[in-house]
Amino acid sequence: METSSSLSFLLTLPLIGVLIAWVMPKAVQRLYAIFGSALILALTVYETSGLLFAKSADLAKTFVVDQKLSWVPEIGFSLSLRLDSVSAWFVVLNTLVALVAFSLRGVWYRKYPRLFTSFGFFLVFALNAAFLSTDLITFYLAYEAVFIPMIFMVGIWGENQKAASVLRFFIMSFLGSILMLVSIFYLVYLNHEASGVYSAQITDLIHFTATQDPVKLCWPFMGFFAAFAIKVPLVPFHGWLKDVYTNAPMPGTIWMSGILSKLGVIGMIRFVLPLFPQTAAMHQGWLVTLAAISIVYAALLAIRSNDGKSLLAYSSISHLGFVMLGIFSLKSNGITAAILLSVGHTLVSALLFFLYHQVEERQAELNLESPHGLAPLYPVLFVSLFVSVLASVSLPGTLNFGGEFLVLLNAYPVSALCTILSGLGVILGAVYMLKFYQQLGLGSDAQKPTSSGVITKDIGAYDLVLVLMLLSVIVYGGLQPAMFLKGN
């Protein structure tokens, strides 16, 4: 066990980052953001290394850190943080995604750059708080706080119909989270009736719900489920996603698909399943069906997309469908596979959006209706893109392969039909991702744009290092999935 104060730095460092952004000159904001997030990443990896690289689950357990800071004792609020082998992955990914998002060049470093950097660091703070929190109220607060920078990020640096899309995003997510809030209040109240103390601690509430009739817990379960199903999203709740992904500035898109969607994943793993194990088992049938529908339906939508960003957005839903399928298998192996797959999805989607942005910077009018033939002009960029596409279609030897395979393996005993349908999703994934690469990279009539202001060089050394770093994690994880499979 480590000392109890060692977790707060995961929250305070990003907040310090927010403050420093306001004293840094505007011209060096990108440099500052990259160095700042890299520093936080290094410290986070150092802090979590015991958990991440432990040889066995038992060994990993010795590195679990619990920390409880009193916040509003009058009403039983506390800041309870827990770093275990689940949250360790997400906090590391969180800063990694921030590093990728900060590395992009664009309008956000020309217009209000300080605001952008401080929003970015604030996101890191709020997401870390959400991933580490074991108190439902603080989790809710952090979960909700993520909206604030996100709304502004889309609003200030977004494109096209940004106002409509960000309002839709906000309203849908807020609807889900407020239903969750009422469910939290309801559980806290029932627990107060039974035990006499106000506590939103997940451990206390798990003890309480274990004694309750699962049918009675149906409504609170639905409240939580609504919040996370909208956040992930599962298919009937995905209406907000496409517009806001395509209209958001690229860093915003990377944040949303890479890490905001994982809030739904961790919510399901950390809160829904432990709180309502029997209720979830009662509803398993349609939960698994929804996940399977998400996989296939989103894949079909992706095939029909003619815009790179929306194709990647739909592919994100499809992959997260696998994650949900793994979680709804309600087996610990399935959940572990889901975590493995969500790590893979975060890395791959951050990488794909990052590279797609690089392509966009070089060719203004991109659509997937006709081939662009850009690969010969920018060989390094397109080789990276091709490897990322392969990682996305779960080629054996990448993280996603292990994840999807194990998810399907664990889902089969639950519902053979849904598993077969989902397996179809893997094939459809190959269809749209290869189409994506083919239309961008292949074809014959490519010419370097001559107009000024457009980048004509291949990607630079820094970008390449970043890409290689992400790819090496993906490939290493594909070859050594045991590192991710220590159970939780």
Partner 1 sequence: MIDHLDVMMPWALLSGGILITLLVSVIRVDTKRPAQISAVITLLATLISCLGLLQVPAETVFSGIVEISPLTHFILALFSAIGILFILGGDRYLNKEGLHLSDYYHLLLILILGASALTCSKDLVVTFISLEVMSLPAYTLTGFRRNDSRSNEAAIKYYILGGAIGAVFLLGTSFMFGATGSTNLNTIFTWSQSGHSDMVIFGMGHLLILIAFMFKVAAAPFHFWKPDVYEGAPTPVTGIMATVVTTAAFVTLVRLIHIVDFNNPSWATYAVTVKHVIRWMAALSLIVGSAVIITQKNLKRMLAYSSISHTGYLLLGVLGSLGKGEEIQSVMIYLFGYTLMTSGIFALMSQSEPKADTGIELIDLTGLMKRSPIQTMLWSIFFFSMAGMPFTVGFFTKYFVFMSSIGSGETPLVVLAALCTVVSAYAYMRPIALMVMRDADPTAANWNSGFWSQIVAVAAAAGVVFLGVMPNAMIQYLKGIPLIH
Region binding partner 1 by CB under 8 A among candidate stretches 180-188, 283-291, 387-395, 457-465: 180-188
The only residue of 189, 286, 462, 476 in contact with partner 1, by rule CB under 8 A? 189
Smallest gap from Cβ 27 to partner 1, in A, equals 19
Cα angle at 47 between 43 and 49, to 5 degrees? Answer: 110
Q: How many residues bind partner 1 (CB under 8 A)?
A: 35
* DSSP structure string for 238-279: -TTHHHHHHHS-HHHHHHIIIIIHHHHHHHIIIIIHHH-HHH
Region binding partner 1 by CB under 8 A among candidate stretches 6-14, 181-189, 294-302, 349-357: 181-189
Q: E-assigned strands of 19-152?
A: 65-72, 77-83
Establish if 144 lies at the interface with partner 1 (CB under 8 A).
Answer: yes
Smallest gap from Cβ 268 to partner 1, in A, equals 21
- Closer residue to partner 1 in complex, CB, 84/243: 243
Please say whether the beta carbons of 312 and 242 come within 8 A.
Answer: no
Please say whether the beta carbons of 10 and 130 come within 8 A.
Answer: no
- Closer residue to partner 1 in complex, CB, 142/411: 142
Establish if 75 lies at the interface with partner 1 (CB under 8 A).
Answer: yes
Establish if 178 lies at the interface with partner 1 (CB under 8 A).
Answer: yes
Region binding partner 1 by CB under 8 A among candidate stretches 44-52, 152-160, 332-340, 410-418: 152-160
Establish if 166 lies at the interface with partner 1 (CB under 8 A).
Answer: yes
Please say whether the beta carbons of 320 and 345 come within 8 A.
Answer: yes
CA-CA distance, 152 to 166, in Å (whole number)? 9
Establish if 227 lies at the interface with partner 1 (CB under 8 A).
Answer: no
Smallest gap from Cβ 219 to partner 1, in A, equals 8
Establish if 181 lies at the interface with partner 1 (CB under 8 A).
Answer: yes
- Closer residue to partner 1 in complex, CB, 106/155: 155
- Closer residue to partner 1 in complex, CB, 52/145: 145
Q: How many helices (H) and strands (E) does the chain have?
A: 22, 2
Smallest gap from Cβ 198 to partner 1, in A, equals 8
Per the DSSP assignment, residues forming a β-bridge with 77 are 72
Q: What distances in angstroms separate CA 406 from CA 111, 142, 259, 439, 452, one per listed residue?
A: 45, 31, 22, 32, 49
Residues in 55-74 that interact with partner 1 by CB under 8 A = 72-74
Nearest CA to 116 out of 125, 108, 124 is that of 108
Smallest gap from Cβ 452 to partner 1, in A, equals 25
- Extract the tokens encoding 475: 């490939």
Amino acid at site 152: F
- Output the furthest CA–CA distance in the chain (Å, rounded): 74
- Closer residue to partner 1 in complex, CB, 185/405: 185
Residue 54 has what DSSP assignment? -
Establish if 465 lies at the interface with partner 1 (CB under 8 A).
Answer: no
Instruction: Output phi, psi for 100, to 5 deg.
Output: -65, -45
* DSSP structure string for 47-115: HHHHHHS-SSHHHHHTT-EEEEEEEEGGGTEEEEEEE-HHHHHHHHHHHHHHHHHHH--SGGGTSSHHH
- Closer residue to partner 1 in complex, CB, 176/402: 176
Establish if 163 lies at the interface with partner 1 (CB under 8 A).
Answer: yes
Residues binding partner 1 (CB under 8 A): 72-75, 112, 115, 140-142, 144-145, 147-148, 151-152, 155-156, 158, 162-163, 166-167, 170-171, 174-175, 178-179, 181-182, 185-186, 188-189, 192
